[in-house]
Structure 1
């Protein structure tokens, strides 16, 4: 009796113990249409379910034709011909749908109207992107409709809406008519901006506001303001609220609620590169001194070739996100294979943002340096005015597909003005990154040029001479291992620099890519010997959580001598 009940239960359970093996094939359509049909098909979505029964499978097959018709309508195809077939071989099922999409529905009329205050505003588009004669594409229609509404709202018409939006399709003639009526309503403008906080001067914070009272209301402008206040590091939380409930006439007041950040930030960092070896960094930043946005930072760094302590005091100017005055002081002890010594520096920098992404910095520094380079020992004091232009442009992606960095620098000193020698120096560098084809391949190029006019190289301290070799110049050589040499074959640096590099890399998988590169160049001087050095090699790139990491193995050659070196670098590509 018990065995009979057990057998009866098994017969009543509608479960296929072995599951069904189902394949779905769609024929006759181009890839975009086919992909959309597969998304709509329930049989495609459920084919891998272990609970799928033959009865359920046949039900899904029967409803597939209706789903296919719905999947094609957004692309303008309303009368497709469909041949459906479901074949079975034991537990295997093959569902095949042969489809002729039929004639495409064409647009024969577009009635697009704009009413309200924005009907006279040239910044509000009066033209609908879909035209008479176009194939009716629902996704293009929806995108164009939403884009027009969003752009109108961004111009300050916050109450803009469609009074009518419909598509009339005549399947008999395969034609469609579009009827759209956009009402912009009244254009709203910025009213009073109110900062709710008690740690910063209100007049200083007002410098961050990128608009004036009476300007057309813009949500994008508010987002930019929020981003700039967040990036300032003065505040832990920035909340920007447009007070639509307090509109007076056409003016919308804005409340900005600010929660102060901690004044002091402390950091300890460990780093490594083959130029510097292990590196320890201690960093202290006072984010907020007084109520006018002043800030200060002190950093202590220890590594084998250079150790330093530096501090800087920053005073924001009229455009606090773009312009500033910086006072700095530092002390360095350097001990590389080519030069040793100590350097003390005081500097003043005025930095402003220019058009097209350029930044110009005017500087004045006073340095005292004691040094040994090869068998040369010396002391120098220099009062150095300088001007620097820098432009960095990137697509912002973690693995940059299009980016460029340009830097031009001019400086000099005169022995008639608080300096032990006279010189004039020009320096220029550039780096370009561009993707090839679909972006899997990239070409990276780099160029550095420098020239110094000085009567005697030996009167220049090492910090004002050019050297080459290392992770970011000619790979295959150690840090500052290249340059003009004296009679004892010690590298002493030069008055000129010319270094170039070409690299091609290929995305491999995930966050990994591989690279091949060639570097060439050296530092030069007319009074000393130096030959052009070459470095070739291959490398691996990893997009780590803390930035790109480069692993390079390079073979360097100069004066018929070959060198091998591993380079490891952590840091931004630009």
Structure 2
């Protein structure tokens, strides 16, 4: 050890690296001697690497080398080793149990006797302090061994703060957004870019954030968004940099999120190349690919043009056409873009047969009735979509698919037949339905129906109906075949029994009818519609008999034909906003109870709709009716014309307009002072002609709307309207628009109200009034 110290002490002053290496080597040697390790003989030692220390010049006088530490100080610092200690180092360690027993015995021997105070520095104290701390003291206090008192005994006192607590809620960081650099493009493009950014921006979605980090995250997101928008509009080299600026001097001022844009050059089409086989006509692809050389490369236009090609080819005889992946080669030096689009047109085809698979609701023969194409016609995907919609409209399928299938069969003129494959999955055919309404004078009316839509395939339905209301009760059964021999034509057989009890008449009526209709449906609204059929009625009705000046039951048997034609240019069945409708109904009938007396009932209806702006619609309605060839008394009360009510002239009760008679009340007792019965009654008796008109102003916002309306009309005893004594009703209504039509609530009042007329009349139903 001393030798190592001497060598370290006499080292010359070397560089830092050399000195550290020397100290390490000397320390290693010292450790080897201290632990008794055997030194490596010189013969076995590796030759030491000489230190690269440059020799000083011969003429340089170096100062004498002083020792780093004096010898006396160094030797006094290093303790001498005890020979006995060397033996102790080689002895085995004692166990933990032996160590604890030895320490306990030493403490017991040094402990003071009872009544004596240990002196300062007593070895019995763990750390030699004159005063023992609780951590060192043995557990002699009996209180420490006692159980803790119950929690209920503690007296808890509220902590009193010297300052009132300040409530703190979530902080919000307000900011504004600034985009610099868009003014370098043309005005229209800048406005378009700004509009696209505003609609998608995370920063613009909210002008406050929880913290600055959230603003920064939104700024980063919007930077990528703005870069994508610029690229989609042809600026592929655009760069966007961002920063957060404070608009005020203090740190609490709002932030400004800044996006600095350098659009660069805008790329334009320099060439448009379509690689495809020849088509018929030859310009089929080029005329539908709405891209031109010199135009900017705008992603939306490119996608739209390709989609138009993908649609036009199947519509013009190419059912198996495929539009490939585009390629646009950009030249950053010129800003030119070469556009290439591969198209596989496939085989030109015509319609072949129809094949059906799956869980069938009906066979391929009936599907041919629904289709609007014939074998050999040029394939048109619009006809295929139309057939798919017609199949869905039957309501008989869970799922249905209609796809073309190549046959390879030559059809001449360079075409092949394509079979239409219909894959069916028939669904539940039964349906329960119901409707309800209310009208002043008509009361509550609830109607329910049960339908089996395919009890007699194909599409032969059986329908049971029931009506329950304050003024009407009845049941009925109908056999109906949809698409009967022709698309959208319906054949119906109807049997009904109905009781009606209105102010104008009370009737028990039985009816059987056969009817063929070609009418609009919720999916297909047709411009031309028609209906024709025949019916027989037997009815017992209460009528006013002038010969007895009172009511009497009369029996009527009526046979008749029905013919109706319509023309419709409106844009919706349940909620039209533009266009007009015109319908005429002619019913030649014969009274059979006392011979064969013929007459004709005819009615003309017209409606028109005019939109004003995006929210207003002005609507108008006219109706004229006449009955020719019969006296009013010989005509059954249920076959006469009436007016008034929710579907007629609002502001008046159901069937309350027109000729009326006043007669003595048979239930009136002049001796009964408590009776509420009036002395006389007023009863509508109907007429042989009618004239009605209505005007509405409809305002809609979202799914809600309001309506203001004026209705007018009158019923006349003559066979033609004389337009005398026209009655007017005014009112307002509310609408709630659903996917199956608007729910309607109207309230109206009559102008120049007369005796017996209600001041307010309420009407609730589905659909517009007209």
Q: Which TM-score tier does this pair reach, normalised by the shorter chain?
A: 0.7 to 0.9
Aligned counterparts of 1:381 and 1:193: Cα–Cα separation in 2: 49
Q: Which has the higher strand share?
A: 1
The answer (yes or no) to whether the contact 2:653–2:758 under 8 Å persists in 1 is: no
Aligned counterparts of 1:102 and 1:506: Cα–Cα separation in 2: 48
The answer (yes or no) to whether the contact 2:533–2:561 under 8 Å persists in 1 is: yes
Cα distance 1:157–1:201, how it changes in 2: closer, same or farther (>3 A)?
A: closer
The answer (yes or no) to whether the contact 2:436–2:765 under 8 Å persists in 1 is: no
Highest Rg: 1 or 2? 2
Aligned: 1:520 with 2:712: yes
Aligned counterparts of 2:192 and 2:326: Cα–Cα separation in 1: 26
Who is 1:502 aligned against? 695
Who is 1:401 aligned against? 577
Aligned counterparts of 1:17 and 1:486: Cα–Cα separation in 2: 77
The answer (yes or no) to whether the contact 1:247–1:253 under 8 Å persists in 2 is: no
Cα distance 1:36–1:281, how it changes in 2: closer, same or farther (>3 A)?
A: closer
The answer (yes or no) to whether the contact 2:731–2:749 under 8 Å persists in 1 is: yes
User: For structure 2, which runs of at least 5 residues remain unmatched after alignment?
Assistant: 1-168, 411-415, 547-551, 664-681
Tell me by how many angstroms 1:401 deviates: 3.4
The answer (yes or no) to whether the contact 2:268–2:295 under 8 Å persists in 1 is: yes
**Residues 133-212 of structure 1: pairs in structure 2 closer than 5 A:** 134=295, 136-162=297-323, 165-167=326-328, 178-180=339-341, 182-196=343-357, 197=359, 200=362, 202-212=364-374
Aligned counterparts of 1:182 and 1:487: Cα–Cα separation in 2: 83
The answer (yes or no) to whether the contact 1:281–1:302 under 8 Å persists in 2 is: yes
The answer (yes or no) to whether the contact 2:227–2:239 under 8 Å persists in 1 is: no
- SS in structure 1 of the partner of residue 302 of structure 2: helix
- Tell me the TM-score normalised to structure 1 length: 0.81
Tell me by how many angstroms 1:503 deviates: 0.8
**Residues 304-383 of structure 1: pairs in structure 2 closer than 5 A:** 304-316=470-482, 319-352=485-518, 357-375=527-545, 377=552, 378-383=554-559
Larger displacement relative to structure 2 (203-212 or 301-310):
203-212
User: For structure 1, which runs of at least 5 residues remain unmatched after alignment?
Assistant: 1-15
**Residues 290-301 of structure 1: pairs in structure 2 closer than 5 A:** 290-301=456-467
- Match for residue 442 of structure 1 among 596, 617, 626: 617
Cα distance 1:278–1:65, how it changes in 2: closer, same or farther (>3 A)?
A: closer
Aligned counterparts of 2:234 and 2:499: Cα–Cα separation in 1: 73
Where relative contact order (Cα < 8 A, 6+ residues apart) is larger, the structure is 1
Larger displacement relative to structure 2 (557-566 or 482-491):
557-566
Aligned counterparts of 2:281 and 2:289: Cα–Cα separation in 1: 16
Aligned counterparts of 1:244 and 1:204: Cα–Cα separation in 2: 19
Aligned: 1:75 with 2:226: no
The answer (yes or no) to whether the contact 1:442–1:505 under 8 Å persists in 2 is: yes
Cα distance 1:133–1:372, how it changes in 2: closer, same or farther (>3 A)?
A: farther
Aligned counterparts of 1:405 and 1:123: Cα–Cα separation in 2: 38
Aligned: 1:533 with 2:727: yes
1:474-528 C-alpha deviation (Å, 9 max, x unpaired):
11111001112346553211111111111112224x4221111111111122399
**Residues 424-443 of structure 1: pairs in structure 2 closer than 5 A:** 424-438=600-614, 440-443=615-618
Tell me by how many angstroms 1:128 deviates: 3.4
Aligned: 1:390 with 2:550: no
Who is 1:492 aligned against? 685
Cα distance 1:191–1:346, how it changes in 2: closer, same or farther (>3 A)?
A: same
- Say how many residue pairs are matched: 553
Who is 1:237 aligned against? 398
Aligned counterparts of 1:163 and 1:315: Cα–Cα separation in 2: 46
Cα distance 1:492–1:296, how it changes in 2: closer, same or farther (>3 A)?
A: same
The answer (yes or no) to whether the contact 2:370–2:483 under 8 Å persists in 1 is: no
Cα distance 1:432–1:98, how it changes in 2: closer, same or farther (>3 A)?
A: farther
Cα distance 1:555–1:466, how it changes in 2: closer, same or farther (>3 A)?
A: same
Tell me by how many angstroms 1:388 deviates: 0.4
Who is 2:383 aligned against? 221
1:445-495 C-alpha deviation (Å, 9 max, x unpaired):
222111222341111112321111111211111100111234655321111
